[in-house]
Amino acid sequence: MAGQLEGKKIAFLVADGFEQIELTRPRQDIADAGAEVHLVSLKTGEVQGMDGDINKADTFKVDKTVDEVSASDYNALVLPGGTINPDGLRANDKAVSFVRDFFKQHKPVAAICHAPITLIEADVVDGRTLTSFPSIKTDLNNAGANWVDQEVVCDEGLVTSRTPDDLDAFCAKAIEEFAEGRHEEQTT
């Protein structure tokens, strides 16, 4: 795995209330694979992680805000979950545009747990097969997605998983897709 992502820049987009392990584990694995990783958020300063969506966990320093970046600055995007985080992201037009632009530029995106809520708002799930935390299955189906209950699903550069229990498969598949680069079938 080491060196697979040498020379690549990966954005991790979060708002307060993200599930901490869904940030820390992929970020570590992707950095270990050689990528430069940036924590992108809605505001400067720090963002609040959560443990099990209930207990406050650690805070993390924001590297860049959505006002300072564009999808063209990065090779790929990771969207950690948590129930509060994607709700904050989907309410921010710049965050939604940032996500949508990765699809317009055919770049790989990895989303876990409740993170596909942001993908729904970005209008990029219609006709795609993906998974998520089971409670948003209906939301995804109503947005035109084909929801499946699998550890990890990859649809033309879009990697999705259900819960932190799936992190081994999620991280491995994200790294594989990020190493491959652009996916011409990855569209909005």
Give the residue numbers annotated as catalytic, written as ranges. 113-114
Find the Cα–Cα–Cα–Cα dihedral 155, 71, 140, 176, rounded to 10°.
30
For residue 55, the cross-strand partners are 51
Cβ(133)–Cβ(113) under 8 Å?
Answer: yes
Q: Where are the beta strands (DSSP E) in the chain?
A: 9-13, 18-19, 36-41, 46-51, 55-61, 64-65, 76-79, 109-112, 129-130, 146-147, 152-155, 158-161
Strand partners, 36: 9
d(CA 66, CA 79): 14
Q: 24: which 2 tokens?
A: 């820390």
Which of 162, 158, 136 is CA-nearest to residue 19?
A: 162
Is 180 in contact with 110 (CB distance < 8 Å)? no
Instruction: Report the DSSP beta bridge partners of residue 60.
Output: 47
